[in-house]
């Protein structure tokens, strides 16, 4: 019996079939009612008791090998049938690409702004969109009675009045100042939220890029030169800037920044309301109180900060007249930026 088992094992190991019919023939030959393996199990009854354990293990191994070979070959030919019945011709050339995706205009503008400031040494910092009162307001020198704290401007988390959806990415800079020593030179792009009426000129969510530079001997002249460099890189080499006095709680002095209209070259048009200038951002020198709130020695360090709305810049760059278009996901609008 031992020689018979070894012979059938050898036969199974070298067996290969050309089709399913041959597989079925050998299944019957090995495992059918009168198959070789089945007959060996009949002969097993005559084996001496002291040999049953040895031959029983060998017979079980033989049966398993035969069944595994049959199953493998059956699956092989079934897969061939599925492939051959497919209507796809894999030798055909690929279909031409008739439509390509496009980056969102806000994403394009954010990347362009970030690249300009990264080229002059600013790092990129991002943070949470849900903030506490300290990092969104108090650390930035915003008094309790400041209008920005009014419910009409800020989205508060109903279960906790100390938690808000951030109204500015300046909160990212507060975290950075608390955990890092100067010099600090960073920009913070991201989404912000304000409880405003949605219209062609405003939205309850939008994007900002805010910048911060803190070091020894930082002056307003450094701020002006940085913003001029940005404006000429972004809007064109002939662009001029104008700074108008303003007020922000976390900067002193503060200013609004205008750029010469790139549509009319400063001569006046409907885009700039015939003034020749377009407002793009706010800026100023970081208030010493804000530095102190964040653990920075205001007697040793000074700094400047600026912030711009990405949608505002994108509207100027692409001559978009309705901010809502950036959020509606209208394919007809987005397709215009495929080549960008």
> pLDDT tens for residues 241-280?
999 999 999 999 999 999 988 777 777 777 677 888 989 9
Q: How far apart are the first and last CA of the chain?
A: 79
Q: Which residue has the higher pLDDT, 13 or 325?
A: 325
Our count of domains for the chain comes to 2
CATH number for the domain spanning 154: value is 3.30.930.10
In degrees and rounded to multiples of 5, residue 282 shows phi and psi of -115, 155
Dihedral class, residue 212 (left if φ above 0, else alpha if ψ from -120 to 50, else beta): beta
| Alpha-carbon gap, residue 214 to 303, rounded angstroms | 4
Residue 159 is assigned to a structural domain of this protein: yes
Residue 22 has a pLDDT of: 81
Q: What is the DSSP letter of 59?
A: H
Residue 20 has a pLDDT of: 81
Residue 81 has a pLDDT of: 64
Q: Are 71 and 121 in a shared domain? A: no
Assigned token pair, 256: 């609004």
Q: Are 50 and 132 in a shared domain? A: no
Residue 96 is assigned to a structural domain of this protein: no
User: Residue 15 pLDDT > 60, yes or no?
Assistant: yes
Residue 213 is assigned to a structural domain of this protein: yes
Q: Are 120 and 152 in a shared domain? A: yes
Q: Are 156 and 298 in a shared domain? A: yes
pTM comes to 0.67
In degrees and rounded to multiples of 5, residue 189 shows phi and psi of -85, 150
Cα angle 81-84-87, degrees, rounded to a multiple of 5: 130
Residue 92 is assigned to a structural domain of this protein: no
Residue 182 has a pLDDT of: 94
Residue 132 has a pLDDT of: 93
Q: Are 57 and 119 in a shared domain? A: no
CA-only gyration radius of the chain, Å: 38
Burial (CB count <10 Å: 0-12, 13-18, 19+), residue 246 = middle
Range with lowest mean pLDDT among 89-98, 164-173, 304-313 = 89-98
| Alpha-carbon gap, residue 68 to 41, rounded angstroms | 18
Q: Are 28 and 130 in a shared domain? A: no
Rounded average pLDDT over 202-217 = 94
Nearest C-alpha neighbor of 129 from the set 164, 153, 104, 160: 164
Residue 85 has a pLDDT of: 53
Q: Are 187 and 238 in a shared domain? A: yes
Highest mean pLDDT pick, 30-34, 65-69, 131-135, 146-150? 131-135
* Domain housing 110: 105-337
Residue 263 has a pLDDT of: 72
For 104-163, what is each residue's pLDDT tens digit? Answer: 999 999 999 999 999 999 999 999 999 999 999 999 998 888 777 776 688 888 778 789
């Amino acid at each position: 019996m031992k020689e018979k088992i070894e012979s059938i094992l050898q036969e199974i190991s070298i067996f290969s079939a050309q089709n399913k019919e041959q597989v079925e023939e050998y299944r019957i030959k090995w495992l059918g009612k009168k198959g070789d393996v089945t007959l060996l199990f009949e002969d097993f009854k005559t084996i001496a008791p002291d040999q049953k354990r040895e031959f029983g293990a060998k017979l079980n191994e033989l049966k398993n090998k035969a069944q595994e070979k049959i199953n493998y070959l059956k699956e092989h030919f079934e897969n061939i049938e599925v492939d051959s019945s497919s209507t796809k011709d894999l030798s055909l050339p690929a279909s031409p690409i008739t439509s390509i995706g496009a980056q969102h205009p806000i994403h394009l503008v954010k990347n362009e702004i970030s690249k300009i400031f990264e080229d002059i040494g600013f790092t990129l910092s991002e943070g949470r969109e849900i903030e506490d009162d300290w990092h969104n307001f108090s650390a930035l020198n915003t008094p309790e009675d400041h209008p920005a704290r009014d419910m009409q401007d800020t989205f508060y988390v109903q279960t906790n009045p100390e938690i808000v959806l951030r109204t500015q990415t300046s909160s990212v800079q507060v975290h950075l100042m608390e955990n890092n020593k100067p010099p600090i030179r960073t920009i913070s792009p991201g989404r912000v939220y304000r409880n405003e009426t949605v219209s062609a000129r405003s939205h309850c969510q939008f994007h900002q890029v805010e910048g911060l530079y803190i070091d020894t001997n930082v002056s307003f002249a450094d701020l002006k030169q940085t913003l001029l460099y940005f404006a000429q890189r972004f809007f064109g080499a002939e662009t001029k800037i104008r700074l108008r006095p303003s007020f922000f709680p976390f900067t002193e002095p503060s200013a609004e920044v205008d750029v010469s209209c790139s549509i009319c070259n400063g001569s006046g048009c409907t885009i700039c309301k015939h003034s020749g200038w377009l407002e793009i951002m706010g800026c100023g020198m970081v208030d010493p109180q804000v530095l102190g709130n964040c653990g920075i020695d205001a007697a040793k360090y000074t700094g400047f900060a600026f912030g711009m709305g990405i949608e505002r810049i994108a509207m100027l760059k692409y001559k978009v007249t309705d901010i809502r278009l950036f959020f509606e996901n209208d394919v007809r609008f987005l397709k215009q930026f495929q080549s960008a």
